[in-house]
Amino acid sequence: MTDPSAPDAAAGASEDRLAADATAVDTVEEMTVLVVDNYDSFAYNLVQYLGEVVTTADWLPEVADGEVVVRRNDAIDVAGIRELDPDAIVVSPGPGTPEEAGVSMPIFSDLDYPTLGVCLGHQALCAVNGAPVRRAEAVVHGKPSTVGHDGRGIFANLPDRLEVGRYHSLAVERADLPDCLTETARTEDVSGSEATGGSSDERSESDGEAGVVMGVRHDDRPHVGVQFHPESILTEHGKQMIESFCRAALEGSL
């Protein structure tokens, strides 16, 4: 926590960081985002959001242009990604396990590009860093959950609690997270007063079990993951999350 007795120093550091971030964005002439498609139709919802962000975001300079490149998980390798040299990578949802998802795991083990893993991509990030991916206690497909988050990175400037769309039968347990991964979001306790909307029974049916890991951030590498789907119609502020990811990728603030 910031020392409250030294507000001037904290404010100065914050101003310096914001100035550096603004410079980083202002020097961008174009933004290239690679989407690794894990053979999932949701990938193209992500592509649509990303395409809108990198071509219309008002925080990009007017001269900036953007491109979203899509490659199937078996149509590009680590060397190909290095050759493409994207500004950011999004690893999409998909069927199966991380080990079956082509280049998805090597992206997190071998590369340091700013990367967002979604659902299966999130599981790949966790698996690479030693967290076992297990069958979830409650299989959740196409249902909303209330999620609390840390307000950083892709969750910046969002309400403390959000409704998000979940579509998964696998999950990572909090107790299994390695030291290098910080939990950034989890499902709320549906039996407590913090959960909002509907009766307790309705929320329990909708949310599945409480306390499920919904987001992680690597402590030393620019890698983040979310178990839910930002691109789903069930997710509140999903496009804003994608925009925050893109901006944080350019600013180096994931």
User: Is 126 among the catalytic positions?
Assistant: no
Q: Is 154 helix (H, G, I), strand (E, B) or coil?
A: helix
User: Is 229 among the catalytic positions?
Assistant: yes
Helix, strand and coil percent figures for the chain, each rounded to 5: 35, 25, 40
Report yes or no: 33 and 89 within 8 Å, Cβ to Cβ.
yes
Report yes or no: 78 and 131 within 8 Å, Cβ to Cβ.
no
Catalytic residue among 122, 168, 229, 237: 229
User: Is 218 among the catalytic positions?
Assistant: no
Catalytic residue among 163, 218, 223, 231: 231
Nearest residue to 34 via CA among 64, 68, 57:
68
Within its chain, how far is the Cα of 222 from the centroid?
Answer: 11
- Pairwise CA distance, residues 42 & 238, whole Å: 13
**Count of alpha carbons within 13 angstroms of residue 71, beta-carbon side:** 20
Q: What is the DSSP string of 91-146?
A: EPP-SS-GGGSTTHHHHHHH--S-EEEETHHHHHHHHHTTPPPEEEEEEEEEEEEE
Report yes or no: 154 and 115 within 8 Å, Cβ to Cβ.
no
Active-site residues, by number, are 119, 229, 231
